[in-house]
Amino acid sequence: MQIHHHWTGIGPAHRGASVAMGNFDGVHLGHQSVIALAAEAQAPLGIVTFEPHPREFFAPAAPPFRLMNAEARTHRLEKLGVAELYELPFDARLAGMEAETFVAEVLVAGLGVAHVTVGADFCFGKGRKGTVETLSREGALHGFGVTIADLVAADGAEISSTAIRAALAEGRPRDAAGMLGHWHRIEGPVLHGDRRGRTLGFPTANMALDGLHLPKLGIYAVKVDVLTGPHAGSYDGAANLGIRPMFEVPHPTLETHLLDFSGQIYGEHLSVALVEHLRPEMAFDGLPALVAQIDADCARARAILAGL
Give ∠ CA 121-158-123 in degrees, rounded to 5. 10
Q: What is the DSSP letter of 12?
A: G
- Helix 161-169 to helix 173-180 angle (10° resolution) is 160
Backbone angles phi, psi at 145, to 5 degrees: -80, 155
Q: Is 255 a catalytic residue?
A: yes
Q: Contact at 8 Å (CB) between 221 and 183?
A: no
| Strand duo 233-242 + 218-226: pairing | antiparallel
What is the rounded CA–CA span in Å between residue 213 and residue 169?
8
Q: Contact at 8 Å (CB) between 184 and 67?
A: yes
What is the rounded CA–CA span in Å between residue 21 and residue 50?
9
Q: Contact at 8 Å (CB) between 245 and 212?
A: no
Q: Contact at 8 Å (CB) between 189 and 95?
A: no
Catalytic pick from 84, 87, 138, 255?
255
Instruction: Give Cα separations from 26 to 4, 67, 198 (angstroms).
Output: 20, 5, 33
Q: Contact at 8 Å (CB) between 189 and 207?
A: yes
Instruction: Give Cα separations from 58 to 22, 24, 66, 95, 135 (angstroms).
Output: 17, 18, 14, 9, 23
Sign of CA dihedral 59, 63, 66, 72: positive
Q: Which residues are catalytic?
A: 255
